[in-house]
């Protein structure tokens, strides 16, 4: 047990014997981890945002200005029964005029137009997108709305639906390749440092072997070194990320976005530390095997 | 302790050892003589597992060198100590750290390490240099560090390659006394040398010579007194 701890700390101490090499390695690992962490942070916040406004889509329907009022209002009654519709707001031409007037902040008096408003009857549908088949749902809703009598134009924010689906698709597709790529880079960097240590200390390690050191005795400190580099690098990166986070967290907290960025959950951070430690150890193991 | 049959070894095309048959009993004291380039160092490196056996059968301290894997070589090296011709000590560490190394890798307790290392350093007149870096030592002092490191573990078999090469006559004789002491306590010893004087110092030792990679049994020096 004593030997175990002694070798453990020796593995860390040995790293500091070539400080510049350790610095370079840590810098490289930190950079890579920082990039990975930033990627995760963006991902995490996007997902939070998507969850928060999960699938809220707005359709705005404009009727023909010449359309019969009665008929239009009959259609309005049926709107709320459609699939996914949460809230219906309707505007007669006069109501629309009021809203328009309000948006001018009463600087302009539009009352003289009452009764012969040039604006069309309008309805705004707030919809909750059903989880499955989002695109299909959006398309069918759109065509249903367009087919209503006297409807001139339906506008909706296809971007919202599309962005949602494409973002989810992208993250699913890109997440693992990006993570694996970053881990691979870390593995290569750590592996190279261990190889370098093996080279520069070849004589010393040979002497250790000659005086009766077992292979484990020699390799264990090097494995600890790999572990330490991985953990240290990711810890530094998380620290940097925290610092960067401190400066950007309120950047998007402005109208009309009101987005507060939140930091990676501690589970993610721990996973990152553990994963990189494991990768560091694994790559030193590979370096030792060759 | 050692049994070798039909051992040959070559570096590339150059044959360094030719068809050697040799055996050594436990507790024996053997001098390995021969001119420079005869193959003495090569022979010792094979006995220690630093060179792999190419042809023939080699058995050292109960370990079959033909089949001993890299993972198990440290067992052999805990029974067999070597003093290398080029010392193989750590120049950037002090004398004490170098001598305690074999005890440390065996996991020996600190207080025992201290006691044993001090005793060995004293007997080789290195106690005043214990804290000196090895790169600051003279050739003879470095050689004594190498010897101290080899004997501090009380090995079953001690292989020493020119252990007196850099020493003056007095120190060489003192070194032989130390080897003799260990021999009395049961260590088998093989010393490669061409120092005629130390051969005469050890009258009951067995002498074998290597010449161009061929081994001859020389003589047993009986009753020759200086
Ligand atoms: N690593 C090597 N590569 C190629 N040839 C070698 C190597 N080591 C030794 N030799 C050759 O093997 C032969 C025996 O060398 P060895 O070192 O065993 O001689 P030695 O008896 O120890 O000599 P000395 O008394 O000078 O130490 C020599 O001819 C030498 O040139
Ligand atoms: Mg030699």
pLDDT at A215 over 80: yes
| Residue B73 sits at the chain A interface (C-beta within 8 Å) | yes
Q: What is the pLDDT of residues A218-265, one digit of tens each?
A: 889 989 988 998 999 999 999 999 999 888 877 776 666 566 778 888
User: Does A159 or A31 have the greater pLDDT score?
Assistant: A31
Q: Average pLDDT, whole number, for chain A?
A: 82
Which pLDDT score is estimated for A55?
60
pLDDT at B96 over 70: yes
Ligand 2 centre distance from Cα of residue B131 (Å): 29
Q: What is the pLDDT of residues A177-192, one digit of tens each?
A: 888 888 898 889 888 8
Which pLDDT score is estimated for B223?
42
User: Does A221 or B226 have the greater pLDDT score?
Assistant: A221
Ligand 1 centre distance from Cα of residue B167 (Å): 22
pLDDT at A205 over 60: yes
Q: Which residues surround ligand 2, an ion (CB under 5 A)?
A: B 40-41, 85
Q: To the nearest whole percent, how much of chain B has pLDDT over 70?
A: 96
Which pLDDT score is estimated for A179?
85
Q: What is the pLDDT of residues A141-184, one digit of tens each?
A: 888 888 888 888 888 765 565 666 677 777 778 888 888 888 89
Which pLDDT score is estimated for B78?
93
Looking at the domain covering A56-128, what would its CATH class be? alpha beta
ipTM of the complex: 0.88
Supply the residue whose CA is at minimum distance from atom 24 of ligand 1.
Answer: B36
Which pLDDT score is estimated for A161?
59
Which pLDDT score is estimated for A125?
84
Ligand 1, residues B17, B41, B47: which to mutate, most atoms within 8 A of Cβ?
A: B41
Q: Three-state DSSP class for A54? A: coil
User: Which residues form ligand 1's pocket by a CB distance below 6 Å?
Assistant: B 11, 14, 16, 34, 36-42, 85
Q: What is the pLDDT of residues B36-79, one digit of tens each?
A: 899 999 999 999 999 999 999 999 999 999 999 988 999 999 99
CA dist A156 → A150, A159, A209 (Å): 18, 9, 74
| Cβ contacts of B115-119, under 8 Å, gap ≥ 24 | B116/B152, B117/B148, B117/B152
Question: What stretch of H or E contains B42?
Answer: helix B40-47
Domain boundaries, chain A: 2-52+164-289, 56-128
Q: What is the pLDDT of residues A91-134, one digit of tens each?
A: 888 888 787 777 766 566 667 777 777 788 888 888 776 666 66
Beta strands in chain A (DSSP E): 56-63, 85-91, 122-128, 151-156
Full-model pTM: 0.72
Which pLDDT score is estimated for B146?
94
Q: Comparing A85-89, A277-281, B112-116, which segment has the lowest mean pLDDT? A: A85-89
CATH of B2-223, one of 3.40.50.300, 3.40.30.10, 3.90.1150.10, 2.40.30.40: 3.40.50.300
CA atoms within 13 A of residue A166's CA, in its CB half-sphere: 6
Residues B88, A206: C-beta atoms closer than 8 Å:
yes
In the sheet that A56-63 helps form, which strands lie side by side, from edge to edge? A85-91, A122-128, A56-63, A151-156
CA dist A81 → A126, A127, A151 (Å): 12, 11, 18
Across B194-207, average pLDDT: 83
Chain A interface residues (partner B, CB cutoff 8 A): 2-3, 203-204, 206-215, 217
| Residue B118 sits at the chain A interface (C-beta within 8 Å) | no
Q: Three-state DSSP class for B93? A: coil
């Amino acid at each position: 047990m004593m030997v175990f701890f002694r070798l453990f700390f020796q593995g860390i101490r040995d790293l500091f014997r070539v400080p510049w090499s350790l610095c370079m390695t840590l810098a490289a690992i930190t950079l890579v981890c920082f990039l990975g962490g930033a990627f995760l942070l963006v991902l995490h916040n996007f997902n939070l945002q998507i969850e928060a406004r999960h699938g809220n889509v707005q359709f705005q329907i404009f009727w023909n200005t010449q359309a019969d009022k009665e008929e239009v209002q009959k259609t309005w009654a049926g709107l709320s029964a459609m699939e996914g519709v949460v809230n219906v707001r309707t505007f007669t031409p006069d109501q629309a005029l009021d809203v328009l007037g309000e948006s001018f902040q009463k600087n302009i008096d539009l009352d003289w137009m009452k009764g012969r408003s040039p604006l069309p009857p309008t309805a705004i549908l707030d919809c909750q997108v059903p989880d499955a088949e989002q695109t299909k749902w959006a398309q069918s809703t759109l065509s249903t709305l367009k087919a209503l009598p006297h409807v001139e134009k339906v506008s909706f924010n296809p971007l919202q639906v599309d962005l949602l689906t494409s973002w989810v698709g992208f993250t699913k597709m890109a997440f693992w390749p990006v993570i694996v790529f970053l881990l691979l880079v870390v593995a290569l960097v750590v592996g190279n440092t261990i190889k370098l240590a093996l080279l520069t200390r070849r004589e010393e390690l040979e002497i250790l072997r000659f005086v009766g050191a077992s292979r484990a005795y020699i390799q264990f400190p090097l494995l600890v070194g790999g572990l330490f580099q991985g953990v240290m690098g990711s810890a530094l990166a998380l620290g940097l990320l925290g610092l960067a986070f401190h400066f950007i967290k309120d950047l998007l907290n402005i109208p009309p976005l009101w987005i507060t960025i939140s930091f990676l959950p501690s589970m993610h951070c721990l996973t990152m530390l553990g994963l990189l430690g494991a990768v560091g150890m694994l790559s030193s193991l590979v370096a030792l095997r060759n | 302790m050692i049994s070798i049959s039909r051992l040959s070894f070559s570096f590339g095309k150059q044959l360094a050892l030719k068809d050697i048959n040799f055996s050594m009993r436990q507790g024996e004291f053997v001098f390995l003589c021969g001119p420079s380039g005869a193959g003495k160092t090569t022979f010792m490196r094979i006995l220690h597992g630093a060179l792999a056996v190419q042809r023939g059968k080699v058995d050292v301290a109960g370990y079959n060198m033909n089949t001993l894997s890299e993972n198990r070589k440290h067992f052999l090296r805990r029974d067999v100590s070597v003093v290398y011709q080029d010392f193989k000590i750590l120049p950037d560490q002090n004398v004490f750290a170098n001598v305690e190394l074999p005890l440390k890798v065996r996991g020996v307790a600190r207080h025992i390490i201290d006691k044993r290392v001090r005793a060995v350093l004293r007997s080789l007149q290195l106690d005043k240099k214990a804290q000196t870096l090895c790169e600051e030592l003279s050739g003879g002092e470095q050689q004594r560090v190498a010897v101290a490191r080899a004997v501090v573990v009380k090995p079953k078999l001690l292989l020493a390659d020119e252990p007196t090469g850099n020493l003056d006559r007095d120190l060489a004789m003192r070194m032989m006394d130390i080897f003799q002491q260990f021999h009395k306590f049961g260590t088998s010893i093989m010393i490669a040398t061409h120092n005629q004087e130390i051969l005469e110092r050890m009258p009951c030792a067995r002498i074998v010579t290597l010449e161009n990679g061929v081994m001859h049994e020389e003589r047993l020096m009986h009753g020759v007194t200086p």
